Structure 1
Amino acid sequence: MLRNIASYSTLTLTILTLLYVSFQSNETIDLSKYSTEGLDLNYTVSIDVSQTELKKESNDSFSPYLGKSFVGFKEAIAFKESGGDYNSVNTYGYLGKYQFGTETLKMIGINNPAKFLKNPKLQEKAFIANAARNKWILRRDIKNFVGKRINGIIVTESGILAAAHLAGPGSVKKYLRSYGLDNFADGYGTTVHYYMKRFSGYDTSFVKPNKKAKAI
């Protein structure tokens, strides 16, 4: 009993001593070096954006962690084509998030480019319809060339479909069947080979080959 009392007394005395030393110390923590005064702060969201706008943006945005999924595939192409901007029109007149030409739009049932540009849902349908049509046109080439190496890269179905989106299925056929010698480049110098490489290895099984695919 006496030993326990002595232990508690020693512990209490130690605590009191530490508190006394702490209060007697003149040293203070300088927090001034942590100040943000004078810094040009780079906020990701404007402070005047309403909560409604933030919620809508959150619901409409895709996750950045899409991996090699089909959604990852189409969003990667969209980012390369337009930065993902539905309203984009380039210097050659290609339209929307995926940069469609008017002739390609006609082939998938879209005859009003102005309305197409203002309709994000239609643009998404157009991408899938065009991919399905290209997959049908290139079905034999997909069967014959996927897994082979051309110009140092392994040919994949997603690479073929991406290149067809860039240059049309005819240019992709020429590239594959010439084993890379006929390498079409668009007006900005982007080649079939570049798209075959950049967009290789995605899962495009979602796209079903369809000769008569339409967006409308």
Structure 2
Amino acid sequence: MLNRKIIVIRNLIFVIVCFITLTSFTTTPSEENKKAKPITVLNNTKLNFPYLQNDFVGFKEALAFKESQGRYSIVNKLGYLGKYQFGKSTLKRFRIYNTQNFLKDPELQEKAFIALCKVNKWILRKDIRRSVGKTINGVKITESGILAAAHLSGAGNVKKYLRSNGSFKFKDAFGTSIESYMKKFAGYDVANIKANKKPVV
């Protein structure tokens, strides 16, 4: 009888220990741990990964990470510059001529990106109205997808793609297609970007 009680007590202790151990591994992360934390990538550059929403901020940060991993000072092997990988000809459109100063000025880069979105939205305003909601080559067309593709290939090539119902093909020097950007950056709310033929930076 005594041995049976000892066995029962031992089993009860074992169950309690197992329960405590399991709960210690399933605790909810603290608010501090939920915050975006910097990680180190190539060239010892630290990046923050915020919890992005499907708004314009989420759109531009997702696009920037695809373009440059969000680095303001980077120049790629083809000479494209900064966080959003601007070409020199695009910068000249906004009267930005000093590329070294541009690379050192995050605020200017953000303003230039917004200006480019505005002018691309103006160039593509009719195509946005006609095409959003359609499915082309298996990809649902959205306004944010169109703006992302325009950043990749230029608004003129996006216009050709949409008006040909996807038969016009374009890939950049790295093999990235209009379709891939349409798909990757679909569904962001970019309504706060207003079409503007001549935005000022």
Give the shorter-chain TM-score range.
0.7 to 0.9
Partner residue, 1:146: 132
Alpha-carbon spacing, 1:163–1:45, altered in 2? closer, same or farther (3 Å): closer
1:185 to 159, 163, 171: 171
Q: Which amino acid aligns with 1:178?
A: S
1:68 aligns with 2:59: no
Instruction: Specify whether residues 199 and 44 from structure 1 end up closer, same or farther in structure 2 by C-alpha distance, changes over 3 A only.
Output: closer
CA distance in 2, matches of 1:143, 1:178: 16
Q: Distance in 2 between matches of 1:77 and 1:152?
A: 21
Normalised by the length of structure 1, the TM-score is 0.70
Query: 2:21 maps to which residue?
Result: none
| CA distance in structure 1 between the aligned counterparts of 2:173 and 2:129, rounded to whole angstroms | 30
State the alpha-carbon separation in 2 of the partners of residues 132 and 64 from structure 1: 25
Q: What TM-score, normalized to structure 2? A: 0.76
Secondary structure (helix, strand or coil) at the match of 1:142 reads helix
Contact residue 39 and residue 48 of structure 2 kept, 8 A: no
**What is the count of residue pairs matched by the alignment?**
160
Larger radius of gyration between Structure 1 and Structure 2: 1
In structure 2, the residue matched to 1:206 is: 192
Deviation at 1:62, TM superposition (A): 6.5
- The gaps in structure 1 that reach 5 residues or longer are 1-42, 47-56
Answering whether residue 53 of structure 2 is matched by residue 86 of structure 1, we say no
Residue identity matched to 1:70: F
Aligned to 1:33: none
Residue 196 in structure 1 maps to residue 182 in structure 2: yes
For residues 149 and 120 of structure 1, do their structure 2 counterparts lie closer, same or farther at Cα, with a shift above 3 Å needed?
A: same
C-alpha contact (below 8 Å) 1:109/1:214 kept by paired residues: no
Tell me how large the CA RMSD over aligned residues is.
1.9
Secondary structure, counterpart of 2:108 in structure 1: helix
Partner of 1:38 in structure 2? none
Q: Which runs of 5+ in 2 are unaligned?
A: 1-36, 41-45
**Shift >3 Å, 4+ stretches:** 43-46
